[in-house]
Amino acid sequence: MNIACIAHDEKKKDLVQFMMAYESVLTGHSLFATGTTGTRIKEATGLNPHLFRSGPLGGDQQIGAMIAENKMDLVLFFKDPLSAQPHEPDINALSRLCDVYSVPIATNMATAEVLIHGLSRGDLNWRELVNGEKRLIEDES
Ligand SMILES: O=C(CO)COP(=O)(O)O
């Protein structure tokens, strides 16, 4: 599965701890991250996420583009609800695309815990069916 990892500054520590705690689950998946978040994850774990640009410089939009192509299966986006973000439109666009494409998104650690357990239990395997069907449709056209 392709998993996006993003955290606002006040939540980066939480996300890094989460990634450390679930490293054994996450290691079997392809990880993608916004620049600063991904760098923190690399420093603290043995995980090796693909790094996009920093969020305010377009990283959220790059991850949004993957969602729009139905190439992202799960989004872990630890948001800071107490600080204004200069790139709020990009953040809203990413969240909206998750709803357009039915991509599971966790915006806090409590939801992320539930999704990660679901991931290891196979609850998200339907995403592979969705992508498989999409590829079949593309092959036919
Ligand atoms: O701003 C972000 C998400 O909106 C995160 O970007 P960074 O990981 O580069 O800090």
Q: For 125-140, what is each residue's pLDDT tens digit? A: 998 887 766 655 555 6
Which of 29, 33, 27, 32 is closest to 46 using CA atoms?
27
CA of 127 to the centre of ligand 1 (A): 25
Atom of ligand 1 nearest to the CA of 53: 9
Atom of ligand 1 nearest to the CA of 57: 9
Give me the domain span that covers residue 62: 2-140
Task: Considering the candidates 9, 60, 73, 123, report the single residue annotated as catalytic.
Answer: 60
Q: What ipTM does the predicted assembly reach?
A: 0.98
Domain of 78, CATH number, reads 3.40.50.1380
- Is the separation of the CB atoms in 34 and 52 below 8 Å? yes
CA of 134 to the centre of ligand 1 (A): 30
Active site residue 60: yes
Which conformational region is residue 102 in: left (phi greater than 0), alpha (psi within -120 to 50 degrees), or beta?
Answer: left
- pLDDT by residue, tens only, the chain of 141 residues: 999 999 999 999 999 999 999 999 999 999 999 999 999 999 999 999 999 999 999 999 999 999 999 999 999 999 999 999 999 999 999 999 999 999 999 999 999 999 999 999 999 999 888 776 665 555 565
Number of domains in the chain: 1
Question: Hey, which residues does 5 pair with through a beta bridge?
Answer: 33, 76
